[in-house]
Amino acid sequence: MGLKDNIRRVVPYTPGEQPKQKVIKLNTNECPYPPSEKVIQALKEADYSRLRLYPDPVCDCLLTALSEYYGVAKEKIFVGVGSDDVLSMCFLTFFNGDKPVLFPDITYSFYDVWAQVYRIPFKQLPLREDFSIGAEDYMAENGGIVLANPNAPTGVAEGLECLERIIAGNPESVVIVDEAYIDFGGETCLPLIDKYSNLIVVRTMSKSRAMAGMRVGYAFGCAELIKYLNDVKFSVNSYTMNLPSLIAGEAAIRDGEYFDKITGKVKATREWCKEELKKRGFLFADSMANFIFAKNPEYHAARIFEELKGRGIYVRYFNKPRIDEYLRISIGTDEEMREFIKALDEILILPEIERRG
């Protein structure tokens, strides 16, 4: 047996590019607006002499703010270092059997990475041609289910009836609904946590609260499931969230007025961009997220991606089966999206642009 036989090796998740130079960045679904002024003020007023101490392991200030905002008891809330940390902890905690965990073939590409890292058997179920979920597909024997709603990268939001059917139909499995984009559209499953003891709903402050740089995520579920999550968390790392993140997270969740303002702006810009893309022959499902997943039947997505990049506009291209002719376009400011549309107009009339056969 060699050295490498004892090393855990996986194909890692590939995040969107983070260019160092100034560009129009529409590739990682970040909020185009700054965080609340209340976040900035809270960080300015913080007592940084406390950095010599470990942060509160139970994250009580953030739990209290979340509890008051959502009307959910603190014992039904779990917090972590962004929703990626929360989801990773969910995989580690709830998927400990021999049956495969189920999730779509086109979805957040971290799911299969976590499954491989933790040696969890999994099965990816094909989305329908319109990128919707077939609830009946998830009635098979399984060790758990993970569904992003609205889904990424498609932006499609399933109705509550579809999701509840899956949750109710799998009482012996934990069903995770990843609601990273729910603040931009769709129906939340949050009210269902009091009806179903097998449901975990995951959220993030990275998108709708402009806090991607602070890494604040959280989950809702029945008190028993949240206890199991905390038991595993405290067995891995008691101090997962640092002091500035706790301070900023509490301030962000308490500024509901600013949250409504920026999510409203993003949604309005998204709807404008949908109409502009339609005028230029692009096709896409009706996105309920802060991005649009679109293709143009006449042009290769990879070529448009490279041409945009050459103009300093970054969008996301996935060279994967079924979606390799699509671009995922994050919604920026009105000015950024006008520049994006202007660049598209320049690209689509290039004599050398390669058309699809």
The region of weakest confidence among 20-29, 47-56, 96-105, 258-267 is 20-29
DSSP 54: P
Could you tell me which CATH number the domain at 17-32+257-348 has?
3.90.1150.10
Residues forming a β-bridge with 150: none
- Residues 33-76 pLDDT 10s: 999 999 999 999 999 999 999 999 999 999 999 999 999 999 99
Question: Measured over all CA atoms, what is the biggest interatomic distance in the chain, rounded to whole angstroms?
Answer: 64
Question: Cβ of 189: how many Cβ atoms within 10 Å?
Answer: 24
Check if CATH label 1.10.10.10 holds for domain 39-254: no
The CA-based dihedral angle spanning residues 337, 342, 348, 354, taken in that order and rounded to the nearest 10 degrees: -70
Gap between the Cα atoms of 136 and 157, Å rounded? 17
CB neighbour list of residue 86: distance below 8 Å, 6 or more residues apart = 78, 79, 80, 202, 217, 218, 219
Cβ atoms 316, 153 nearer than 8 A: yes
pLDDT level of residue 13 (50, 70, 90 thresholds): low
Closest CA to 56 of 188, 234, 318: 234
On the question of pLDDT at 357 being above 70, the answer is no
Question: Cβ of 257: how many Cβ atoms within 10 Å?
Answer: 9
What is the per-residue pLDDT for 353?
A: 66
Cβ atoms 301, 326 nearer than 8 A: yes
264 phi/psi in degrees, rounded to 5: -65, -40
68 phi/psi in degrees, rounded to 5: -70, -40
pLDDT level of residue 235 (50, 70, 90 thresholds): very high
- Residues 187-214 pLDDT 10s: 999 999 999 999 999 999 999 999 999 9
318's tokens = 């996935």
On the question of pLDDT at 355 being above 70, the answer is no
What is the per-residue pLDDT for 1?
A: 65
What is the per-residue pLDDT for 2?
A: 78
Burial, 209: exposed, middle or buried (Cβ in 10 Å; 0-12, 13-18, 19+)? buried
Report the Cα 161 to chain-centroid distance in Å. 21
pTM of full prediction above 0.75: yes
232's tokens = 């595993």
Question: Cβ of 127: how many Cβ atoms within 10 Å?
Answer: 20
As a three-state string, the secondary structure of 155-223 is CCCCCHHHHHHHHHCCCCCCEEEECCCHHHCCCCCHHHHHCCCCEEEEEECCCCCCCCCCCCEEEEECH
Amino acid identity at 48? Y
Around 21, how many Cα atoms within 13 Å sit in the side-chain half-sphere? 7
- Domain ranges for the chain: 17-32+257-348, 39-254
On the question of pLDDT at 239 being above 90, the answer is no
